[in-house]
Structure 1
Amino acid sequence: MASAPQLRRSLNVWQAVGLSVALMAPSMAANINPQGMIPSVGRAVPLAFLLAAVGVLLVAYGFVRLCQHFHHAGSVYGFVGATLGPRTGVVAGWGLLGTYTFYGVVTSSAAGIFGTAFLQEVGIWPNPPVLAPFLLTAVALVGALLLTVVPARRGTSVLLTVEIATLVLILLTIVVVLVRLLSGSAPGGRSFTLEVFTVAAGTDVSAVFLGVVFGFLSFAGFEAAATLGEEAANPKRDIPRAILGTAIFGGVYFVVVTAVEMMGFGTDAAGVEAFGSSPSLLGDLGSSYVGGWVGYLISAGAAVSAFGCCLACVVGGSRLLYALSRDSVGERGLGKLTAAGTPGRSAVVVASAMALIIVVCVVAFGAVPFDTFLWSGTIGTLMLLVVYVLTTIGVIWLLFVKRALPVRRWEIVIPLGALVVLGYTLYRNVIPYPSEGPARFFPIVAGAWLLVGVVAILLAPGVARRLGQRLTESEGLSLSK
């Protein structure tokens, strides 16, 4: 009997970190995601990020524990399938595939937005039409597909390199802004204040959790290294380190950067309004506090970061789709690898799905680039929260019911805390149900995607059995080992 196709084990811990950091895209996320919180939390954007960071660290505990026992290209598909059963695993994997797909739309759109802004700022394209960013969006999707098909070592090295370069520029700008705030030389008399961690009078404290969803959007991807479990040279050591390290870095980075951003714009009504309407948060701060040239570089850097994140979405999504196909129909179709040892066919499908979503948004709903960014980001995050819930339940079953790994009894408070944060964030973003504008469709689309996975597995019990057998036989996925 022919052996199942195998991904090549050639990646080290830093290349796993590269995928997680690139998919989290801290450079791009800090430049645009915080604006989505303004209507609900006002000046308390850093507070919302702090709460999101706590939630992410609680969830990261579960991923670290799972990766110490399992290593599988399907990430949560394999984890949840081995702990809660193959049917639930498929739903979790399908949900994460949806998140990566919609996040690919988010990041390719952002690449188009920031790329066009840079070309406009430097005078290369002074008057681009409204839909012009979609041209660069298409370039980003094609480039991400091509880099996904080459060996993962090369692709992840690109991700880490471009993200580090952009992060250095942003952190230097943040240091300058912070020094001027502390020294009293900031524009408009702005100064350092901890008001950014408090909710302004008249704002419901629970509304902060409406903003937390954008925090999870920014952190999303910290777990992406789990999809490289079959390609890491030492997966049970390197993958947990990559996931935990990325989560800790993201927590510190986003809280500090968003706090300085909000203080840099000002915590009064005018400052909050300027923050919410800025076309490039860090670009505007760079121009105001350092010099106009900094704004140009940050816009270019944000475009590169967005492309790197788009690449990570295609990489992560293609490996999820590959794992689902391989375990259901074997080494054919989407379960077939290229000569280079990468899931090329799955990558084509994932990238094509991203492009199709953009086309539907534009043709059916008249979307502009920022619309596809915002809509897809919200839909993808709602699905991601459900996936995190299933993964955390699997952790509880594995550690505290099956007791497959040594664990202290008190540690159960960590995954239970994660469920509280995830559950309330989901609840607050659905109840009361949004009744106006595009937001009323977000839970419907997210729920419909997940429902497709549920219905498919119910209608194909034979596939479910094969998936269960494959999960049991796969390297690292048998609880009896």
Structure 2
Amino acid sequence: MSTPSSLTLEGKLRRDAGIVGLLFASTTSMIGSGWLFGAYHASRIAGPLSIGSWIIGAVIIMLIALCFAELAALFPRSGALVHMSHASHGEGLGQLWCWLLFLAYVPVPAVEAEAIVTYANNYLPWFIRPGTSGLLTLTGFVTCAALLGITALLNLMVVRWLLNVNSTITWWKVLVPLVTIVTLMTASTHWDVMHASPDSYSLSGMFTALPAAGIVFSYLGFRTAIDLGGESANPHRTIPLAVIGAVVLAAVIYILLQVAFIMALSPGDLAHGWSHLSFKGEMGPFAGLAATLGLGWMATLLYIDAYVSPGGTGLMYVTGGSRVLFAAGEMNAGPQALTRLNRFRIPWVAVLVMWVVGVLFLLPFPAWQQMVSYITSVTVLTYGLGPIALMVLRRNLPDLKRPFRMWGAGIVAPLAFICSNLIIYWTGFKTNNFLFSLLAIGFVLYAFHYHFIARRAADDFGWPHIAWLLPWFGGLWLLSWLGGIGGGRGVIGFGWDILVVSIWSVVVLLLALRSALGSSETSAMMARMDSTS
């Protein structure tokens, strides 16, 4: 283990990641527990319209990913999402955003571990409480904690070794869904099920399924290539290619999986409508369908994959989250201990924090769908800053050399921001009320520490640059309360809610641009970050 003094001299990450390693890092982050459960939950919410849900989700995520592809090439550093917020709105927002990113990353390995034990519970009924919607037993909790520990230990390897392990896992994770698609389509005998029970689903379900069924959650992993940017030998070229390529690959697989899942259903499975879709083995949906169709070998393959796919995704999210924490220490948004590296130049303290806090997240969200709703909402919230940061940098540094320049940024970036807010709204009031309450408490604690414990000057906090967060977060909370999704009051009907959220998003975007740093301040912040690279 390196000593703290040597870390000061050698505190640089290795640049061993190539295009294939980064592409597979993002791909394996996207093809995890979402493919095992997403099609089932989407079918219950939106029926055959769930196919449209995956298409819409892919389009929305691609809009966001295109913004980040340009930004990532400008910030080829590990934990780049932290640095982007510093460059657009200063240190105050950067420090707040760092911890928002941490809250988005840290629960994902936990939800992937829970996906593993949920599938395993079909043949080892020790992990899930009978008669519940996925609540963990004590044995299940301890097992999930142990699985998180394994991903943390693997993350202490040299990044080249880690990505080699991940590349092997990713080949498996891509091939098994493809085999599943072809096999289910070939074996299916009820192709007309697409038209069954048309009264048991609605058009609104196609949109609410985006967060509720884990569709957006499944696509969110594209950011892993960005997080590992500081460990790539040629980040300006490899990061945009990896980000865009991973989204396209995952979208094709997920859309075809949804089609194959629906085709494999029988009319009896839909006897009580799509919302009450039920069949033997539904706790492991694809494996259950395979068994029903007499494909025992495929069911066995899927039970094996239920370890590999979520495990690989959890592995990469521990990697990405630890790099965000590393960047937090690097930019003084967190303790300097987060930048400590082991002899392989891996931020071991950050990895340890990811494991400890990840275990805690098994407590308040002890079921896959409950955790997915929270993760989707907070992650998309953090992504919302990307389009804003892109527009600020385009305005403040128009002549800056951009290795990847997105066409039509003036249209794509606002659309990406609007879509981010719509996804948060569609998550529903119950989840958003928890999320924004948590953020409010966290902000108050942070401000108290800053002003009264650290006793730093109020002018340095950056109030002029972060005040726009109040109408953004507060407005989304209010609209969610007025809407009719997930416990809302139902004052705003479907269709009108999309219009209102879109208009409010434009207002917030204008406030954010007005509150951003000036050209000289952005240049100074970029120079400061370059000095630490």
TM-score by length of 2: 0.75
Q: Distance in 1 between matches of 2:313 and 2:172?
A: 14
Contact 2:151 2:315 (8 Å CA) reproduced: yes
Distance 1:144 1:476 in 2: 32
**Within 2, Cα distance between the matches of 1:45 and 1:300?**
26
In the other structure, the counterpart of 2:513 is none
Deviating more after overlay: 313-322 vs 416-425: 416-425
**CA–CA distance in 1 between the matches of 2:159 and 2:530?**
20
1:289 deviation in Å?
3.9
* Alignment correspondent of 2:530: 475
| Structure 2 Cα separation of the partners of residues 253 and 400 of structure 1 | 37
Write the distance in 2 (CA, Å) between the matches of 1:238 and 1:394: 21
**How far did residue 195 of structure 1 move?**
5.5
Whether the 8 Å contact between 1:106 and 1:373 is mirrored in structure 2 is: yes
Query: Could you tell me whether the CA contact under 8 Å between 1:105 and 1:372 is conserved in 2?
Result: no
Structure showing greater relative contact order (alpha-carbon pairs closer than 8 Å, 6 or more residues apart): 1
Distance 1:413 1:42, change over 3 A: same
Is 1:307 matched with 2:308? no
Shift of 1:281: 2.2
The match for 2:229 is: 229
Determine if the alignment matches structure 1 residue 147 to structure 2 residue 154.
yes
What one-letter code is carried by the residue in structure 1 that aligns with 2:15? R
Does residue 167 of the first structure (1) align with residue 162 of the second (2)? no
- The reply on whether 1:269 has 2:270 as its aligned counterpart is yes
Q: What pairs up with 1:208-219 in 2 under 5 angstroms? A: 208-213=206-211, 214-219=214-219
What letter corresponds to residue 529 of structure 2 in structure 1? S
Distance 1:13 1:345 in 2: 27
Partner residue in 2 for 1:238: 238
- Please tell me whether residue 447 in structure 1 is matched to residue 451 in structure 2: no
Q: Corresponding residue for 1:88?
A: 93
Q: CA deviation at 1:401?
A: 5.6
CA distance, structure 2, for counterparts of residue 330 and residue 97 of structure 1: 11
Task: Say whether residues 1:49 and 2:54 are aligned partners.
Answer: yes
Structure 2 vs 1, CA of residues 473 and 126 (structure 1 numbering), >3 Å: closer, same or farther?
closer
Tell me if structure 2 keeps the 8 A contact 1:78–1:477. Answer: no
For each residue in 1:9-32, what CA deviation from the matched residue of structure 2 results, as whole angstroms up to 9, or x when unmatched? 1111111123212222x2531111
- What's 1:104 paired with? 109
1:471 deviates by: 5.9
Distance verdict in 2 for CA 1:232–1:466, change over 3 Å? farther
1:249 aligns with 2:249: yes
What does the per-residue CA deviation read over 1:77-111, in whole Å, with 9 as the maximum and x for residues that have no partner?
11222123232233333222111111122111112
Further displaced range: 297-306 or 324-333: 324-333
**Larger deviation: 154-163 or 238-247?**
154-163
For 1:87, what is the secondary structure of its paired residue?
helix
The one-letter code of the counterpart of 1:387 is T
Asked whether 1:23 is paired with 2:29, we answer yes
In the alignment, the residues of structure 2 paired with residue 127 and residue 203 of structure 1 have an alpha-carbon distance, to the nearest angstrom, of 34
Equivalence for 1:391: 386
Shift, 1:309, TM fit? 1.2
Provide the rounded CA distance (Å) in 2 between the counterparts of 1:150 and 1:30.
Answer: 28
Select between 144-153 and 322-331 the one with higher mean Cα deviation: 322-331
Output the CA distance in 2 between the equivalents of 1:4 and 1:266.
Answer: 61
CA distance in 1, matches of 2:191, 2:334: 61
Q: Distance in 1 between matches of 2:531 and 2:200?
A: 52
Contact 1:69 1:236 in 2 (8 A): yes
Q: 1:194 to 1:452 in 2, by over 3 A?
A: same
Residue 115 of structure 1 contacts residue 300 of structure 1 at CA under 8 Å; is this kept in 2?
no
* Residue identity in the other structure for 1:379: Y
**C-alpha spacing 1:180/1:293, structure 2 compared with 1 (3 Å):** closer
- SS of the aligned residue for 1:328 comes to coil
Quote the residue 1:377 is aligned against. 372
Whole-angstrom distance in 2 between the partners of 1:312 and 1:427: 28
Are the structure 2 counterparts of residues 98 and 293 from structure 1 closer, same or farther at C-alpha, using a change threshold of 3 Å? same
Deviation at 1:244, TM superposition (A): 0.7
Letter in 2 for 1:165: W
User: Is the contact between residue 193 and residue 266 of structure 2 (CA under 8 Å) also seen in structure 1?
Assistant: no
Shift of residue 314, structure 1, vs aligned partner: 1.1
Stretch deviating more after TM superposition (207-216 or 467-476): 467-476
Q: Map 1:317-356 to 2 at 5 A.
A: 317-328=321-332, 332-356=336-360
CA distance in 1, matches of 2:418, 2:215: 16
Match of 2:286 in 1: 282
1:136 CA displacement = 3.1
Distance in 1 (alpha carbons) for counterparts of 2:293 and 2:145: 34
Q: Who is 1:436 aligned against?
A: none
Report the secondary structure of 1:136's partner residue.
helix
Find the residue that maps to 2:221 and give its secondary structure.
Answer: coil
CA distance in 2, matches of 1:266, 1:402: 58
Q: Per-residue deviation at 1:62?
A: 0.4
Report the CA distance between 1:146 and its aligned residue: 0.3
3-state DSSP of counterpart to 1:346: helix
Query: Equivalents in 2 of 1:60, 1:45: separation in Å?
Result: 22
> Is residue 80–residue 394 contact of structure 1 (8 Å, CA) maintained in 2?
yes
- Which blocks of at least 5 consecutive residues in structure 1 are unaligned? 362-366, 434-439
Structure 2 matches for 1:129-208, cutoff 5 A?
130=129, 131=137, 132-181=139-188, 186=189, 190-191=190-191, 200-201=198-199, 203-208=201-206
Moved more, 328-337 or 153-162: 328-337
> In the aligned structure 1, how far is the partner of 2:371 from the partner of 2:351?
19
Q: Greater CA deviation, 300-309 or 152-161? A: 152-161
Report the CA distance shift for 1:116/1:354 in structure 2 as closer, same or farther (over 3 A). same
Distance in 2 (CA, whole Å) between partners of 1:33 and 1:348 is: 30
**What's the counterpart of residue 71 of structure 2?**
66
Contact 1:77 1:91 (8 Å CA) reproduced: no
CA distance in structure 1 between the partners assigned to 2:321 and 2:288 by the alignment: 33
**Counterparts of 1:59 and 1:128, CA distance in 2:** 37
State the percentage of identical aligned residues.
20
- 8 Å CA contact 1:104–1:310 kept in 2: the answer is yes
Does the aligned pair in 2 maintain the 1:37–1:210 contact within 8 Å?
Answer: no
Task: State the secondary structure of the residue aligned to 2:367.
Answer: helix
Counterpart contact for 2:76–2:235, Cα < 8 Å:
yes
Aligned-partner Cα distance in 1 for 2:353–2:26: 22
User: What code does the residue aligned with 1:343 have?
Assistant: P
Matched residues in 2 for 1:396 and 1:476: separation?
24
* Cα distance in 1 between the residues matched to 2:317 and 2:167: 14
Tell me the CA shift for residue 135 of structure 1: 4.0
Name the structure 1 match of 2:507. Answer: none
